[in-house]
Structure formats: C-alpha cells, structure tokens
Amino acid sequence: MSPVPALCPLPIPCPSLPRVPCPSSCPVSPCPSLPRVPLPIPAPCPLPRCPEPVPSQAAWCVLPSRVLLVLTSQKGIQMYEADGSVLVYWHALDVAEHPPGNAAPRGAAGSDPPCAAGTSSGPVLVFDIPPKGTNVTVSEVLEQHGAAITDIAAEQGRDGAGGLVSADDAGSLCVWSTGEEFRLVSKVPACGCTCSSVALWHGTVAAGFGNGQIRLYEAASGRLRAQVNAHARWINALDLAPETGKLLSGAEDSFVHIWKLSRNPDTDDIEVSWVRRSCP
C-alpha cells in the first residue's frame, strides 16, 4: 500500500513553483518528485536611481581659533576640520515646505566671527562655532532675500568690525554688519539679472552678474561706484586678494581676467584697471 501523499512546501515560498505531492517522509532534499522550475528573474526597478548629492560649493571658514572646510549640497551644510578628516557638524535643511530636490544650501563664507551659509529659499543661516569640539549651533537667521542665495562673502575690517554680503538669483545684494548683533547696513535692489558671485574689499562690494558685468558698490550705502563689461557670458566666480586688491573673474566665455582695484586718494573714487587675460 503506497503512503498517503502530502504537500511538500518550499522553505521560501515562490509564487511560480507549484506545491506537488510527495511522500510524507521524503528523506531526500531536495525532493526528487519536485520539478525543477526556474526562478523568475526580477524585473529592474522602474524608479530612477537617486544620484549622489554633488557639492554645490566648498569654502574655507577662517575663524580666530580654527579653520573649517564647509561643503554645501542637497544633503545640507557639512563642516569638516581643515584636513577633511573629521565631520564637525551637519545641518540638514528642513524640506517640509519644499520638495527635496528644490531645497539646498547655496553660498558659504566665514571670517571673524561669523560662519554663514545661504539657502535656496532665501534665508541666510549664521552659525556659532566653538574654539574646539562639535557644539555648533545656528545663532541667527537673516531674512532679507526673496530669491535663492547664490553667494556669500565675508571680510574682517581693519577696525575690528566685520562685514558680510549676500547675493541672490534676482540680483539683490545685502550688506550686513557682523558686530555683537547682525544688522542690515545696505541693500541693493534686484536688477532682474542673477548676481552669481560676490567679494568684499575694504568696504567695497565686487559683484559678478549673469550678463558678464562686474559692478562695484559701496558697502555702507549700496551706491554703485564702478561698472565693467568684463565678459561676454555668465560670470561663474570671483576671487579677490585683499592685500593687493587684485580681482580674478572667470566666466562661461572661457576667459579668466585679472583686474586691479584701487581707491583714488584725491577723489575717493574706486578705480578698476585691467591687468591680464588668460584663456584655454
């Protein structure tokens, strides 16, 4: 008399493999009465793979007691020790009001005392950084911009008073005093053209714009002091040597220009002279 057939389940059930009868006390594993059915190959996930966040800017925050490397990306604001070995602080942006792909920090700068970073929604975050350790906190939020922040620059004045300038996508500039309390000193209204990069030099704001112009403003009043049609296309970056007053500009027209900023002692006007040009 043959044994009563029973169902032999797989250890991990697979919907494409039927349960077939086999002897109730089958000593062989795998069961010889179970047909070998190929497992289905899972289809690739139709959802796009999320790319790794790419840093949008890297800047040195030079403070009296330490130097930090600040990186901004869609992950947030990350602060590292100068050699990049230790992550000191990570500030993730609040994306509750914005889609994750649209919320990102933009622009970072630091001097004595502030370290600041802008956001794509307009506010500028100011961080309080201790001489050592990781107890970094957001001390102030500066809200004067109605568009995404593009760049921030800071300067320590000779009289000990600091200065901070922030720029946005609409071309607006805000100059802040960085004493015991942050105070708005002057504001340049939006001009309809993105201000892509800013620098500070002895109370003068150098601003690069998407139309290729470099404009020099008086930080205390926001008054336009000089304007140069420097490039044929969008200016990507400005860098300034505070000791010599030399200003470097790079743009999408593939040219890099070096300019010399100076102040006329008789008229107190800001003068700009071209030094040299470099191209690939």
Spell out the SS3 assignment of 6-19: EECCCCCCCCCCCC
- Residue 75, number of CB atoms within 10 A of its CB: 17
Classify residue 51: in a domain, yes or no. no
Half-sphere exposure of 73 (CA within 13 A, CB side): 11
- Residue at 131 is within a domain: yes
Q: With a cut of 90, say whether residue 46 has pLDDT above it.
A: no
Report if residue 8 sits inside a domain.
no
What's the mean pLDDT in 90-106? 62
User: What proportions of the chain, in percent to the nearest 5, are helix, strand and coil?
Assistant: 0, 50, 50
Residue 214 — pLDDT band, cuts 50, 70, 90? very high
Q: DSSP assignment of 78-104, as one string?
A: EEEETTS-SEEEEE----SSS-GGG--
pLDDT beyond 90 at 163 = no
| pLDDT of 6 above 80 | no
pLDDT on residue 97: 46
Residues 187/165, Cβ–Cβ less than 8 Å: no
In a domain, 165, yes or no: yes
φ, ψ dihedrals at 221, nearest 5°: -115, -15
Q: Is residue 172 in some structural domain?
A: yes
d(CA 62, CA 43): 51
Question: Does some domain include residue 5?
Answer: no
Q: Is residue 24 part of a domain?
A: no
The pTM of this model reads: 0.74
Q: What is the spatial distance between Cα 7 and Cα 13, in angstroms, rounded to a whole number?
A: 13
* CA atoms of 145 and 122, how far apart (whole Å): 5
Residue with structure tokens 């947030």?
76
Question: How many residues make up the chain in this entry?
Answer: 280
Q: Which residues contact 23 (CB under 8 A, 6 or more apart)?
A: 3, 5, 6, 33
Write out pLDDT tens, residues 170-208: 999 999 988 778 899 999 999 989 999 999 999 899 999
The answer to whether position 220 is within a domain reads yes
Q: How many domains are contained in the chain?
A: 1
- Arithmetic mean of pLDDT, 223-241: 94
How far CA 248 is from CA of 106, 156, 164, 270, in Å, comes to 21, 20, 20, 17
Q: Which domain holds residue 200?
A: 64-278
Q: What percent of the chain lies above the pLDDT cut of 70? A: 71
Q: Quick check: 68 and 82 in contact, CB under 8 A?
A: yes
What pLDDT band is residue 265 in, cutting at 50, 70 and 90?
Answer: confident
Higher pLDDT, 12 or 256: 256
Query: Quick one: tokens of 191?
Result: 């001009």
> Taking 80 as the threshold, does the pLDDT of residue 36 lie above it?
no
**Average pLDDT of the chain?**
81
Cis peptide before 46 (omega within 30 of 0): no
For 231, what's the count of Cα atoms within 13 Å in the CB-facing half-sphere? 30
Whether the bond between 48 and the residue before it is cis, its omega within 30 degrees of 0, is: no
Amino acid at 205: V
CA distance linking residue 57 with residue 70, whole number of Å: 8
Start-to-end CA span in the chain (Å): 92
CATH at residue 214: 2.130.10.10
